[in-house]
Structure formats: structure tokens, C-alpha cells
Homo-oligomer: A and B are copies of this chain.
């Protein structure tokens, strides 16, 4: 019976354990968002208005966004101050812990040091509230009463439902049909905060009706749901649209993740050689990686890797081109990696990663070789996520499981090469509302899906013509 040594034992142990879970006091929440555009040695290609063929103007964006977010979308200031009422809400769960996954390392027998930033501790269960809160706040102080949005897995919808409730806004969520059907708990979660949740495609919008007319059984996609939410917001004076990823201001808001991780790495006396994050629209990956890329641009190298599903390989198999952010062609045309806005990804168990496009910032950095991208198959995702749960205790969201799978692969490579390295990844959310996916895996009902090459070819043949 190993009792704690009263004089030194327990103290020493707790000290050691403390190093494994690096906590920051609340006063260490970043006071500014970090804008990587200020440090990039090139300019991003501007978003193009489908109506004019010219770069989108402030006024065009003002139809669906409040002015502060448009300024942030277009801004080049390196540091953007976070408003006090936003900080006040972020302080409900931030700073999030950075945890050394020592039990996972041991299970893998890897010489690598693996850390993860645990964004699943937020009330909505993912990194998404980091941007939902400022978005709700700016809309509120701009006199808006109602927000519309889309959600895939439900993480973003949950976050905006939560933020809308705190700032007393109404919230309507168009939820991708396949998730709507697979995840009744997610719907309840959003309703509990007071949001209205509809399956997308829905008969409420022209975009939805068009899809339904052709494909009455459409599983939906993020692209379709975005079309519906944008269409509704554009048509109502009191309503704005809120996007959970892709755009510059969304990635900006998420940089609190990477900034905290930098402080935590310093406390741990370490620094990442590799930074991993799952990639759907880019906000989770960008939020963690961009502050490190900023350091890399100043001379401290890092390998930042976006991890996407084999079945929706935007960065790895898509084309860098101007394309619509949504399916119906209502959004500005963005220069990004895309599988074609008409591409409807297979209904895999990671709804948050089923997006045809990618953030223009991440796209440009991948194009320039400043970030990397790779895919993982679905079975490896669940195998690795389950190993993670059984060692570190936390059940990853299937989206986050993609990062875990890539990290496990890298850690085993390092073991093979008898080489050590420091790996940091974002555990973007917990999977407690995604347990049906794990059940399918445990019962042997998960397949790899694979890459739908022909459908991607077909969708890529319909890119909009843009000449700039």
C-alpha cells in the first residue's frame, strides 16, 4: 500500500503532475487577437462579389455582418483588442488547459512529447465559442436582434446558441440533415439554450427548395446550410448571419488558442516542432497554428499540419481557385482550396469537416508552403480517438479525432526513427454528443469511406469564372 510521503512525496508528485496539465490564471487570457496578415510576406487575394466581379465592398458585407466584424475581416492590424464584455464571457472557461499526454505517449512507446490544448472545456464543448461570443457581442451592440447560421456536427450551432443566449439574441440554426438525424442530443442542446433548429436543406428558403426539388433525400452539407442561413439573413433587416469558420475574422478570434499555448509551452519549458489540428473550414487549426506560424516567420520554425478526412480532402486534393463559400452561390467568391461548391461530401461521422472549401488564410499558407496538410481515413480516426480516451480519459469529438490520428501516426514514425520531437495538437472539442459514432465503431460498423474522386472532378468542373 503506497501511502503518500507526508513530508515530500505528495508535494513532489503534484508538482510533477502540474507540469502535465499546464494551467494559466484567468488574467493570462490574451487581451488581443493576433492577425497573421500583418506578418505575411504577401497579400491575400481579395474576396470577389458575384454581383459585380470586383472585390467585395464594406457596404456589400454590411448586409449580413456588423461593421466591427467587417473591419476585422479586412484589417491588417497585428493586434486587435478584445472588448471587455467578450473577455468577461471568455473568462467563464478560458484559459483552457494545455495537457501533456503522458499516458498516450507511454501507450505508444514513443520518444515524442505530445501536448494537447483542450478546447472541449467550453460550455458548448468546443473551440467554437471563442468566435461565437465576439460575433454575438458585435451584432448585439450594432442593434441586431436575430442571428442565423449553419451547423454541421452541431459544435458551431451549439456555440452560437450559447453566445446568443448570453447577449439576448434570437438564434436560428440550419443543421445539416445527416447530423440533424444522427444527433438528437445536439438538437436538444441548442434548443436548451433557446435556439431554433431546422434540418437543412429546408423548405423555408429558395436555396433549400432548389436542392430538395432535385434531391428530396439530400443528406445536406455545410455549403447548402450556409446558403440557407445567408439567404434568410440577407432578406431581413433585423437579422444577421454568423459564420463559424473560413473567414479571416473567425480565424482572428480563434488565435486566443495559439497565444495561450505559447505561454503554456514557455511554462512547460518546451516548444513544438509540430502543430496539428483537424481542418474543416480552418478556424480550429488556424486558431492554434497561426500564432506559431507568426513566430516561424520571425525565425522560430514549426511544422504546422492541417488534418482532413480522406473523404473530404479539400487542401490535399482540391484546387486553389476562386469559388463560392456556399452551394447556392450567394456568398462572395473566395480564393481558397476547394473541391467545388457543388460537392456534397459523403456522410462520415465528422460533420464539422464536411466542407468543400477552406479558409483563404490557411489555403494561402498551404499554397506557399508555410503550412502542410494531410488526410486520415475514418477507421484510423476512431482507433486513435479511442486510444486517446482510454489513456487520457477525454473522449475526442470525431473532428478532433482526425488530429489525434495524425499525431499518433507521427509519434509512431518518430519511435521508428528513434527520434524525439515535441508535438502540440488542438483537441478542438469533446465527443460526448457524438457517442453514436463511437458505438458504430465499437460495433465494427465504421468503414473508411475513401476519397470520392469522381464527384470531386465533377464539382471542380463547375468553378465560377473569375478574372482578377
Determine whether the beta carbon of A193 is less than 8 Å from that of B2.
no
Chain copies in complex: 2
CB < 8 Å neighbour of A123 from B17, B194, B393:
B393
Measured between beta carbons, the chain B residues less than 8 angstroms from A6 are 31, 81
Determine whether the beta carbon of B18 is less than 8 Å from that of A25.
yes
Q: A23-B26, A141-B2 are in contact. Are A432 and B125 (CB under 8 A)?
A: yes
Cβ distance A116 to chain B, nearest Cβ, rounded Å: 13
Measured between beta carbons, the chain B residues less than 8 angstroms from A468 are none
A13 adjacent to chain B (CB < 8 Å): yes
**Interface-side segment among A182-190, A269-277, A338-346:** A182-190
Chain B's closest residue to A25 (CB) is B18
Binary per-residue interface labels of chain A (427-460) against chain B in the complex, 1 for a CB within 8 Å, 0 otherwise: 0000011011011001000000000000000000
Determine whether the beta carbon of B26 is less than 8 Å from that of A17.
yes
**Interface-side segment among A83-91, A211-219, A249-257:** A83-91
Cβ distance A439 to chain B, nearest Cβ, rounded Å: 4
Looking at chain A's contact residues, the main secondary structure is: helix
Determine whether the beta carbon of A188 is less than 8 Å from that of B438.
yes
Chain B's closest residue to A395 (CB) is B192
Measured between beta carbons, the chain B residues less than 8 angstroms from A23 are 23, 25-26
Binary per-residue interface labels of chain A (21-51) against chain B in the complex, 1 for a CB within 8 Å, 0 otherwise: 1010111010100000000000000000000
* CB under 8 Å from chain B, chain A span 156-207: 162, 165-166, 184-185, 188-189, 191-194
Determine whether the beta carbon of A390 is less than 8 Å from that of B194.
yes
Binary per-residue interface labels of chain A (1-25) against chain B in the complex, 1 for a CB within 8 Å, 0 otherwise: 1111110011101110110110101
Chain B's closest residue to A68 (CB) is B1
* CB under 8 Å from chain B, chain A span 118-141: 121, 123-125, 138, 141
Determine whether the beta carbon of B188 is less than 8 Å from that of A436.
yes
Cβ distance A406 to chain B, nearest Cβ, rounded Å: 21
Measured between beta carbons, the chain B residues less than 8 angstroms from A395 are 189, 192
Measured between beta carbons, the chain B residues less than 8 angstroms from A185 are 185, 432, 435-436
CA distance A393 to B21 in the complex (A): 24
A-B contact pairs, 24 of them (CB 8 A): A1-B138, A2-B84, A2-B141, A10-B81, A13-B91, A14-B27, A14-B31, A17-B88, A18-B25, A18-B27, A18-B91, A20-B91, A23-B25, A121-B121, A123-B392, A123-B393, A162-B393, A184-B435, A185-B185, A188-B442, A192-B395, A192-B435, A432-B433, A433-B435
Q: Which residues of A contact B (CB under 8 A)?
A: 1-6, 9-11, 13-15, 17-18, 20-21, 23, 25-27, 29, 31, 68, 81-85, 87-88, 91-93, 103, 121, 123-125, 138, 141, 162, 165-166, 184-185, 188-189, 191-194, 386, 389-390, 392-395, 432-433, 435-436, 438-439, 442
Those 6 A-B pairs whose CB atoms lie nearest each other, nearest first: A123-B393, A17-B91, A18-B26, A10-B31, A14-B27, A188-B439
Other than A6-B81, A11-B27, A192-B395, give 5 A-B pairs with Cβ distance below 8 A: A2-B83, A18-B91, A20-B91, A123-B393, A185-B435
